């Protein structure tokens, strides 16, 4: 059996975007900054996460904000599009299935309260 599981941690780069699919289902889009390396060799990689799991969308709406450190477990999916007659494939990080998770690790650096009361996101 093949596996497609991806886990990342990082800080939320902007407040989450909540929208609806054409079918009327809520989803969330998160921009996550993942810092790799240290010192002069540190690089920030920006990853867009698409959250379609209804329970996780609710957690994002109620608890996730810019600057917060979070962990995400999801899957990679290929989105196929066509622009000006040219076919393209784009790899996306998606949280949609029952194995998808969001871990609220730490509040934004400027927040005064601790992370002890943050729920762990499972659906």
Is residue 112 helix, strand or coil? coil
**pLDDT attached to residue 40:** 93
16-64 pLDDT tens trace: 999 999 999 999 999 999 999 999 999 999 999 999 999 999 999 999 9
Domain residue limits, the chain: 6-110
Angle at 8 between CA 102 and CA 41, to 5 degrees: 145
The CATH architecture annotation of domain 6-110 reads Beta Barrel (2.40)
pTM, 2 dp: 0.82
Q: How far apart, in Å, are the Cα atoms of 67 and each of 9, 59, 88?
A: 12, 16, 32
Beta-bridge partner residues of 118 = none
- The 10s digit of each residue's pLDDT in 68-116 is 999 999 999 999 999 899 999 999 999 998 899 999 998 887 765 444 4
Are 55 and 78 in contact, with CB atoms under 8 Å apart? no
């Amino acid at each position: 059996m093949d596996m497609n599981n991806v886990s990342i941690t990082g800080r939320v780069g902007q407040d989450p975007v909540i929208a609806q699919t054409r079918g009327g289902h809520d989803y969330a889009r998160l921009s996550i900054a993942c810092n790799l390396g240290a010192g002069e060799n540190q690089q920030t990689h920006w990853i867009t996460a698409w959250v379609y799991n209804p329970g996780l969308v609710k957690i994002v709406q109620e608890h996730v904000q810019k600057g917060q450190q979070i962990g995400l477990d999801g899957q990679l999916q290929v989105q196929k599009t066509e622009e000006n007659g040219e076919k393209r494939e784009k790899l996306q990080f998606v949280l949609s299935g029952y194995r998808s998770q969001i871990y609220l690790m730490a509040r934004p650096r400027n927040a005064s309260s601790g992370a002890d009361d943050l729920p762990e996101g499972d659906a």
